């Protein structure tokens, strides 16, 4: 639901006509009157449990017009949570939607009764891209999901993730090198943060990277991925009614676009690269060579080598890697973007970060690295605070109930869509002051504990360790090398109003100006170019 607003607006307009006007209002009013009379005539038995409270609904379309009336569904959900409490329900066409907005009920449902809430709600358009949930993110809860999840865990364990450190090293260096070389000039950091996270995911998944955010192939890939989110992540009218006709009408245009992206990205780039890697591995094995002895294998290669033992097909590998690419690019980049804006608006936090990293540079004569991870508590606390206060996917990835349940005295139907309102959940535990020290005081620096930005329970984000490492390294290096300020002028604050989208970003474009923090770091960045060259040659060897 985090991403359904636009389509709902169009869909509702199509359904009820351009003006949601007098006729619909009259029908709604009549329905309310009839329902009230029916309630008086047939009062519910005291043992009948009701659905959680809900705002007044339209006949037939339920709350679709309510959602369609806003461009900011996350704010609407906040407002409704204030009015209707920590669990409320909506009716979207034929689908029951349950919204949960406090920590207690989140723990209760995702952890204690995890199995009932472990399904995933998938719209019809997204089902095409994932070939009906053949991936991990959108897989229905069950054996296949469990199998894919085990494999994802195996390649994303904290220990395994350290094998990616050389790539993170090179890519973070590429990012700070850009800030240092453009010191004093305005830089739109979002594009460079995307290059950072995309390159990390592409290098590890498929063994390729791009040199510039302006590379046409990279731009086309990012556009295609955004298109998939836009078309597939957004629930459409076809998802809320079981109607073949409606499905056909609504999907006619979407289908063409989805098929085109599917052909370019899924079957073209990703499958194409996997098959190239497979041919190369087969050749090496046929010549008695050990591929792992020659180079760091990427995930595609690792999984191709173990596919028989793991009972995976080439298509399974493709779907899993597409998940990693989709789930791991925009999320980490968006969190880092918020972080830049927070640091610029709060120079006192930037100063504390400088104080944390400067001794590393001075004592060891090098830039901070992932070996320093444990010695960077304030850096980790700032990242966790940003992830808590400004979750980039504030309504998470919708779940679906696998069975009926009773929650807080209400009936929860099976196959209901369940939304977790992360901002409301965090507000039920923490104040909204930007106060990273809270995580140090409570000795709770792990991104998995005490916040819900990465979900919780059985389907919690398995990429959290990778996200933590890529964010810590980038932030430590940025603050070691440059002082960040707003390109519009020193001391000018960014407008931190969130703009709802595929991921929630600051409404204002974050244009950053950097000032290099001395000759030593400038020299280190230049010297560090060797690391970038090494990583690139490693990759070339892998091709
Ligand atoms: C700041 C970065 C990230 C954020 C905020 C984030 C957030 C989330 C959220 C909210 C979910 C849904 C969890 C739930 O239903 O309880 C999720 C699932 C998932 N994420 Fe992430 N994620 C991030 C980075 C990553 C990375 C780097 C990867 C991959 C390497 C990744 C892979 C996945 C996968 C595969 C799932 C589906 C898990 C399942 O359904 O079993 N994520 N993520």
Tens digits of residue pLDDT in 62-102: 999 998 888 888 899 999 999 999 999 999 999 999 999 99
Residue 339 near ligand 1, beta carbon < 6 Å: no
289-293: long-range contacts at Cβ-Cβ below 8 A with a sequence spacing of 24 or more? none
Ligand 1 mean position to 332 CA, how many Å? 10
**What is the β-pairing status of strands 95-100 and 417-420?**
parallel
Ligand 1 centroid–CA 452 distance in Å is 11
The residue with greater pLDDT, 25 or 179, is 179
- The DSSP output letter for 298 is P
| Structure letter (DSSP) for residue 108 | I
With the most atoms of ligand 1 within 8 angstroms of its CB, the residue from 149, 335, 460, 463 to mutate is: 463
Q: Is the pLDDT of residue 206 over 90?
A: yes
Distance separating alpha carbons of residues 446 and 439, to the nearest angstrom:
9
Supply the mean pLDDT for the chain: 87
Q: Tell me the C-alpha distance between 332 and 456, whole Å.
A: 18
pLDDT of residue 38: 45
Which residue, 92, 103, 19, is CA-closest to 60? 92
Percent of the chain exceeding pLDDT 70 equals 88
Q: How far apart are the first and last CA of the chain?
A: 40
Phi, psi of 90 (to 5 degrees): -130, 155
277 lines ligand 1 (CB under 6 A): no
119-120 and 482-486 strand pairing: unpaired
CA-to-CA distance for 393 and 380, rounded, in angstroms? 20
The pLDDT, as a whole number, for residue 233 is: 63
Partners of 418 in the β-ladder: 98, 399
pLDDT at position 535:
58
Q: How confident is the model at residue 10 (pLDDT cuts 50, 70, 90)?
A: very low
Does the CB atom of residue 152 touch ligand 1 within 6 A?
yes
Sign of the dihedral through C-alpha 98, 54, 453, 481: positive
pLDDT confidence of residue 70: 86
Mean pLDDT in residue range 451-469: 96
- Identify the three-state secondary structure at position 396: coil
Q: 11: pLDDT confidence band, cut at 50, 70 and 90? A: very low
Residue 420 CA to ligand 1 center (angstroms) comes to: 14
Q: What is the pLDDT of residue 235?
A: 72
Task: Please work out whether the CB of residue 395 comes within 6 Å of at least one atom of ligand 1.
Answer: no
Q: Kindly report the protein residue whose alpha carbon is nearest to atom 2 of ligand 1.
A: 332
pLDDT in tens, 293-340: 878 899 999 999 999 999 999 999 999 999 999 899 889 999 999 999
Calculate the CA 122 to chain-centre distance: 16
Ligand 1: does its nearest atom lie under 6 Å from the Cβ of 456?
A: yes
HEC profile of 451-490: CCCCCCHHHCCCCHHHHHHHHHHHHHHHHHHEEEEECCCC
CA 69 to chain CA centroid, Å, is: 25
222 is known to lie in a ligand binding site: no
Buried b (16+ CB within 10 A) or exposed e, 65-100: bbbbebeebbebbbebbeebebbbbbbbbebbbbbb
Distances (CA, A) of 410 to 50, 176, 204: 5, 52, 45
Query: β-strand 87-92 against 95-100: which pairing, if any?
Result: antiparallel
pLDDT of residue 213: 87
d(CA 349, CA 433): 13
Q: Evaluate: CB of 335 within 6 angstroms of ligand 1.
A: yes
Whether 160 lines ligand 1, by a CB cut-off of 6 Å, is no
Environment class of residue 26 by beta-carbon count within 10 Å: exposed (0-12), middle (13-18) or buried (19+)? Answer: exposed
Average pLDDT over residues 178-206: 95
Does the pLDDT value for residue 461 go beyond 90? yes
Higher pLDDT, 246 or 521: 521
State the ipTM, two decimals: 0.99
Higher local confidence (pLDDT), 403 or 526? 403
The confidence band for 533, taking pLDDT boundaries of 50, 70 and 90, is low
Query: What pLDDT score was predicted for residue 294?
Result: 77
**CB of 265 within 8 A of CB of 242?**
no
Cα 364 to middle of ligand 1, angstroms: 35
392 Cα nearest atom in ligand 1: 5
Q: What percent of the chain has pLDDT over 90?
A: 67
Q: Whose CA is nearest to atom 8 of ligand 1?
A: 454
Beta strand pairing status for 505-506 and 482-486? unpaired
Ligand 1 mean position to 244 CA, how many Å? 32
Question: What's the CATH code, domain 63-541?
Answer: 1.10.630.10
**Cα-based distances in Å from 243 to 240, 247, 258:** 9, 6, 21
To the question of pTM greater than 0.90 for the whole model, the response is no
Q: Does the beta carbon of 91 lie inside 6 Å of ligand 1?
A: no
> Torsion-angle region of residue 432: left (phi > 0), alpha (psi -120 to 50) or beta?
alpha
- 529 pLDDT band, cuts 50/70/90, is low
Out of 192-206, 282-296, 297-311, 491-505, least confident range: 491-505
CA angle 122, 125, 126 (to 5 degrees): 50
pLDDT digit string, tens, across residues 221-277: 888 888 877 776 667 888 888 888 888 888 888 888 889 989 999 999 999 999 999
Instruction: Determine which of 152-166, 322-336, 378-392, 484-498 has the lowest per-residue pLDDT on average.
Output: 152-166
Q: Mean pLDDT, to the nearest integer, of 105-118? A: 97
- Please give the DSSP secondary-structure letter assigned to residue 494: P
What pLDDT score was predicted for residue 248? 87
Distances (CA, A) of 301 to 267, 271, 281, 466, 511: 17, 12, 8, 19, 39
**Distance of CA 127 from the midpoint of ligand 1 (Å):** 18
354-373 mean pLDDT = 96
pLDDT band at residue 543 under the 50/70/90 scheme: very low
197 Cα nearest atom in ligand 1: 27
């Amino acid at each position: 639901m985090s991403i359904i607003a636009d389509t709902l607006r169009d869909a509702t307009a199509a359904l009820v006509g351009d003006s949601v006007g007098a006729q619909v209002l009259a029908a709604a009013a009549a329905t309310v009157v009839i329902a009230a009379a029916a309630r008086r005539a047939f009062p519910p038995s005291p043992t009948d449990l009701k659905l959680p409270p809900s705002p007044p609904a339209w006949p037939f379309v339920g709350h679709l017009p309510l959602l369609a009336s806003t461009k900011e569904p996350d704010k609407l959900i906040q407002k409704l949570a204030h009015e209707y409490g920590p669990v409320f329900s909506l009716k979207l066409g034929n689908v029951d939607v349950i919204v949960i907005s406090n920590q207690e009920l989140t723990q209760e449902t995702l952890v204690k009764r995890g199995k009932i809430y472990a399904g995933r709600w998938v719209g019809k358009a997204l089902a095409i891209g994932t070939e009906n949930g053949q991936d991990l993110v959108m897989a229905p809860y069950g054996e296949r999901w469990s199998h894919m999840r085990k494999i994802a865990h195996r390649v994303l364990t904290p220990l395994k993730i350290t094998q990616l450190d050389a790539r993170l090293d090179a890519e973070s260096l590429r990012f700070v090198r850009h800030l240092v070389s453009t010191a004093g000039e305005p830089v739109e950091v979002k594009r460079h943060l995307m290059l950072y996270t995309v390159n990390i995911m592409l290098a590890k998944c498929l063994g390729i990277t791009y040199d510039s955010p302006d590379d046409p192939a990279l731009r086309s890939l990012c556009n295609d991925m955004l298109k998939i989110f836009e078309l597939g992540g957004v629930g459409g009218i076809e998802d809320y009614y079981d109607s073949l006709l409606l499905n056909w009408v609504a999907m006619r245009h979407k289908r063409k676009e989805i098929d085109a992206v599917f052909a370019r990205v899924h079957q073209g780039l990703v499958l194409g690269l996997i098959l190239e890697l497979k041919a190369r591995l087969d050749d090496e094995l046929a010549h008695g060579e050990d591929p792992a002895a020659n180079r760091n294998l990427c995930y595609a290669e690792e999984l191709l080598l173990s596919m028989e033992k793991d009972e995976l097909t080439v298509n399974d590998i493709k779907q899993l890697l597409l998940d990693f690419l989709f789930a791991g690019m925009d999320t980490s980049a968006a969190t880092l973007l918020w972080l830049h804006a927070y640091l610029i608006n709060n120079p006192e936090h930037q100063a504390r970060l400088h104080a944390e990293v400067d001794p590393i540079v001075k004592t060891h004569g090098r830039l901070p690295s992932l070996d320093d991870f444990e010695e960077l508590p304030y850096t980790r606390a700032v990242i966790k605070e940003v992830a808590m206060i400004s979750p980039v996917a504030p309504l998470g990835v919708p779940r679906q109930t696998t069975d009926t349940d009773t929650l807080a005295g209400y009936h929860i139907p099976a196959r209901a869509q369940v939304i977790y309102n992360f901002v409301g959940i965090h507000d039920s535990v923490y104040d909204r002051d930007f106060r990273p020290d809270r995580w140090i005081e409570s000795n709770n620096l792990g991104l998995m504990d005490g916040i819900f930005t990465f979900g919780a329970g059985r389907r919690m984000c398995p990429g959290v360790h990778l996200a933590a490492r890529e964010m810590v390294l980038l932030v430590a290096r940025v603050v070691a090398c440059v002082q960040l300020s707003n390109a519009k002028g020193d001391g000018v604050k960014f407008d931190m109003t969130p703009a709802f989208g595929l991921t929630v970003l600051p409404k204002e474009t974050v244009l950053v100006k950097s000032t290099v923090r001395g000759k030593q770091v400038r020299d280190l960045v230049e010297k560090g170019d060797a690391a970038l060259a090494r990583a690139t040659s490693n990759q070339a060897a892998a091709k």
